[in-house]
Each structure stands twice: as structure tokens, then as C-alpha cells.
Amino acid sequence: MKYKIIIVVGARPNFMKAAPVFIEFKKYKEIDPLLIHTGQHYDNNLSKVFFDDLKLANPNFYLGVGSGTHSVQSAKVMIEFEKILVEQNPHLVMVVGDVNSTLACALAAAKYRCSNQQYNPFIAHIEAGLRSFDWHMPEEINRRLTDSLSDFLFTTEPDAEDNLIKEGIDAKRIFYVGNVMIDSLLRFKKKAEESTILTQLELKNKSYAVLTMHRPTNVDDREDFKKLLSALKEVSKSIKIIFPIHPRTKKMLHEYRVNIDFLKIIPPLGYLDFIKLIIHAKFVMTDSGGIQEETTVLNVPCLTLRKNTERPVTVTMGTNIVVGKDQMKIMQETDKILQGKAKKGQTPKFWDGMAAQRICKIVYDYLKNNI
């Protein structure tokens, strides 16, 4: 018996999460993993470079859905993904993270099994149970709905399990396995050191800060965006800020015609270059989720430019501080870091490079006993 498992990727933060799981499944001779790329992210520097850096095989299917409003994008993913489900009839669909492709594919799989006599496929969600409790974030909608549709909920931190239990999810479906994003980080950290990005940008170890910013709540509202930029301008008086710019942010900057020559703007970086850049940064300012986790493991101070985080363990145990858009707070924390008083962190349990191994074993044992 060969078990067919579809692993879905769509956008930049999915690739480093799916790669270790896909590679691990390949080791099982009774498992046939298929990689499906929805095409939510399509630019080379948001997609292809990650396949190259992570040594991830080309996707078996590329759905080419592209950009659109949330509903259009999600609907297109569902239409295209359903065709794959009908053609492949997999035993299990595995989705990662919280992007639109995650929910759209989980929903298509759940609908598909309503019409399928064999009650296939099972649905697994990697990075389940994270909650920002902020329904204005598209990711929060994606997380909650994906979790409610999933048979296997693989979590990265203890709070996630508590959240799921409170929502009435059966504890038997929840597995605390650790963090697959950290599997990739630990696997590629040494290789990332070979990147020449610091030389290319003429940067010295710990002489600069890194900024990433692309959340609609930060960049889509002109006043909020300007507020944040004015805080960053203050920070830039003390330290050089390197800003690999996301296409959404670039578009908004163009629209607002604001001057940001106090930041060193560079195009989005590939995985290895970016990891090298943050390893050697004095600190990182971000509104991303995954970067809060990577900086915790790398013991690099992180200031999160949001009013909340769905990854509280990075605050309670790690190097993360949630500063929002508050200029005073951002300046206070920057000063502490520059005075050598940065927050030190510890690595959460199971962020040890073995999360994918745990996940694949749980899935394999289950399929073997139940199909």
C-alpha cells in the first residue's frame, strides 16, 4: 500500500515549513508525497529562490492562481485545487501556516471528502492553534478556519494547544511536535554563513538593524504607515537600517510618495541571504510571524511592530518584544539594545530540528493503522 500525501505551498513563508516535511516523507517507501504550489506568490524572489536555497524539488503541480482580492484568490485556489483532488484522490492533504492558500486548500479538501465514499482525504495543519485574537488579520481567519477543518493539528508551542482546547477541539487531534520552520533554520544555518550578502551590502557584524514590514495593518493605511516611518526615522539616527522590501510595501510607498531615504532599501532576499543578514544584525524590527521565531532561536533581539503576536512563546521565552507602532516604546527598546542591555532568550521545547520527523511518524502510523 502506498499512501498519497499532498503538501500544499503557496506563499513565501510556506516554503521553509513544507521543505523538511516533504524531504522526511520521501524517506518512507510507503509514502508518495506530492508537492502542490498554488502560485499565490509567483515572483522569483518570493518563490523560486526558496526552492533553490532549500533544495526543494520542483512542485508536482503548479496552480498559477496569482494575486487578487482575498475572495478571488481563495476561490481560484479552491477551483484549481479541487481538480488535483479529483485527479489524485490523496489519502491526506497537509497545509502549513496561515496564508490564503492554506485555508483555501483545507476547505477544498473538506468539501471534496463530502462527495467521496472513502472519506478521504484526511487534513493536517502544521502550525495549528496560533491566535492573535485579531479578526482584522486575514491570517487569523485562515488559522481558525483551517484548524476547525483539520484532523491532525500539529502545534509549535504550549499556548497553541490551550487555544484549540478552548475552542472545543478534541485533544486527541492535537500533537505538540515543535517547529518545522526551525528545522529548516537549523539545517541551513551553516550554509547561510557562506552567503556573501554582508560583503555585497558593505555591512559589518552587528553594525546594522534589519527591518521587514508588509502587513496590511501597517502599510495599507497611510496615517499608520507614516507614523511607523517617523519612528523608524528616529531609530535610523542611531543605527543603519536594512530594509528588504516586500512588493506590497513597495506599491504602497509608491502610492503615498513618501521619502524613506533614511532606510537602506534592497529587494526581497532569498532564504540563505536573509538568514545570514539576521544572524549578524544587532537587532530586527518586523511585522512577520516567522521572523519572531527565527530571531528567538538565533538569540537576536526582535522588536515586533504590531500590537499583538500569535506566537507568545517568543515573548515569554525568546528575544521578542511587542512594541506596536509606539515611537516612545520603539526608541526605548532600541536604546536598551544599543546600550548592550538587550533581552536574552531561551529556545522553546521541541524547536530542535526534529519536528518534521515527529509529524511524519504520527501521520504514517495513523495511516497504517486506519487505511
What residues line the site for ligand UD1 (CB under 6 A)? 11-13, 40-43, 46, 67, 98-100, 138-139, 214, 246-248, 251, 288
Beta strands in 311-352 (DSSP E): 320-322
State the DSSP string of 220-231.
Answer: SSHHHHHHHHHH
Judged by phi (left if over 0) then psi (alpha if -120 to 50, else beta), residue 68 lies in left
Q: What Cα–Cα distance (Å) separates residue 120 from each residue in 5, 136, 371?
A: 11, 33, 10
Q: Say if CB 337 and CB 4 are below 8 A apart.
A: no
Q: Quote the DSSP letter at residue 45.
A: G
Which residue among the candidates 41, 214, 246, 280 is catalytic per the annotation?
A: 214
Q: Say if CB 122 and CB 93 are below 8 A apart.
A: yes
* Residue 121: cis peptide before it, omega within 30 degrees of 0: yes
Dist. CA 1–CA 333, nearest whole Å: 56
Dist. CA 25–CA 209, nearest whole Å: 37
Beta strands in 233-289 (DSSP E): 240-244, 264-266, 283-286
Pick between residue 71 and residue 199 the one whose CB is nearest to ligand UD1. 71
CB of 213 to ligand UD1, least distance (A): 11
Q: Which one-letter amino acid corresponds to residue 122?
A: F
Q: Which one-letter amino acid corresponds to residue 338?
A: L
CB of 185 to ligand UD1, least distance (A): 17
CB of 31 to ligand UD1, least distance (A): 28
CB of 134 to ligand UD1, least distance (A): 13
Number of H helices, E strands in the chain: 16, 13
CB of 161 to ligand UD1, least distance (A): 22
The H or E element that residue 247 is part of is helix 247-256
CB of 89 to ligand UD1, least distance (A): 27
Q: Say if CB 309 and CB 315 are below 8 A apart.
A: yes
Pick between residue 146 and residue 155 the one whose CB is nearest to ligand UD1. 146
Beta strands in 133-228 (DSSP E): 152-155, 174-176, 208-212
Pick between residue 139 and residue 157 the one whose CB is nearest to ligand UD1. 139
Dist. CA 326–CA 60, nearest whole Å: 45
Pick between residue 158 and residue 216 the one whose CB is nearest to ligand UD1. 216
CB of 102 to ligand UD1, least distance (A): 8
Q: Say if CB 262 and CB 229 are below 8 A apart.
A: no
Report residue 284 as a C-alpha cell: 530586527
Q: Say if CB 243 and CB 302 are below 8 A apart.
A: no
Catalytic site includes residue 246: no
Q: Which residues are catalytic?
A: 214
